[in-house]
Chain A
Amino acid sequence: MIKINDMEIEWRDGMTIQDAMNEVKFSFPLVVVSVNDEIIPQKELPKFVLQDGDKVEVLHLTSGG
């Protein structure tokens, strides 16, 4: 099981962060993502393979300041 924000999804062998985000239909163009409280660089999102039990947090980055 993977926890992504407040949702739980089934873990699959080889599942990447991008796969998990697609599964919960997160389509924000820019995000900050952490796995078990460690921030993962944007470029790594399609490559970073999740382990069963990982806790993923995704925050939407919007413009303005």
Chain B
Amino acid sequence: MDSINVERICASNAPGSLPILKKKCVGIAGAGGLGSNVAIMLARSGIGKLIVVDYDDVEIENLNRQHFFLEHVGKPKVEALGEIIKKIVPGMNYVSSKVRLTEENIAGIFGEVDVLVEALDKAYYKAVLIDSWVALKNNRPIIAVSGVAGYGKIDKIKVKRMGNLTIIGDFESNQCDGMMAPRITLVASMQAALTIEYLMEQST
């Protein structure tokens, strides 16, 4: 194979985007349905560095919506995600941590990121992450999700902005409605697209 470098992999990306995005760092809290898909999309977009945090191992029930393969079952999600990213964009700087996020460690783990993606599953932890990030008063964007369960009803998905917080979702559906790939990856794509938009705006 000819030499692999990020410039060739990203040759079809938006003109002028790679020189900016390869200098950027994005944090992803959670490597499940949202986070694993967002991470892959950002890697393909030429982001220079990803910091991904998740506490869980891959389970077979995750394969309906999370970007993992059968061979990853039993492995930490952050480790499996690193292996996949290395097969797509080998040179990307991927930093991961298998820890539980708390009010106390959020600033230390994500202090350097230009944009933070909230990709957690429980509403309580989403609230803790949002509060902790806003309390840092760094004015850097956080892109969160509320209401991504079930199927169809894509016209119900909204993008709401409050200060440096953007929340995407229908604000109604809940985990008990079932978690399916089409809606989860749709919203993950919206998070990734907004991340790139915010990173490009930071550089203008």
Contacts and interface: CB of A to CB of B under 8 A. Distances in A.
B64 interface: no
Contacts of A38: 163
Interface in A22-39: 29-30, 32, 34, 37-39
A32 B130 contact: yes
Contacts of A64: 121, 145, 147-149, 173-175, 177, 179
Q: For chain B, give the interface size range.
A: 35 or more
B33 A65 contact: yes
Interface string B18-49: 00000000000010111100000000000000
A65 B134 contact: no
A60 B147 CA distance: 9
B171 A62 contact: yes
A37 B167 CA distance: 13
A42 B162 contact: no
A59 B126 CA distance: 12
Given A59-B160, A61-B123, 16 more contacts: A30-B123, A30-B124, A32-B130, A32-B162, A39-B130, A39-B134, A43-B131, A59-B167, A60-B147, A60-B172, A62-B169, A62-B171, A64-B147, A64-B148, A65-B35, A65-B145
A41 interface: yes
Contact of A63 (B130, B131, B163, B174): B174
The 7 closest A-B pairs by CB, nearest first: A34-B162, A63-B175, A64-B149, A65-B121, A61-B123, A64-B175, A63-B123
A19 interface: no
In this complex, the interface size class of chain A, counting residues with CB under 8 Å from chain B, is 10 to 19
Contacts of B32: 65
A62 B123 contact: yes
A65 B172 contact: no
A61 B134 contact: no
Interface string B115-156: 000011111101100110011000000001111110000000
Contact of A39 (B145, B146, B163, B173): B163
A32 B124 CA distance: 11
Interface string A38-64: 110111000000000000010111111
B119 A65 contact: yes
A32 B33 contact: no
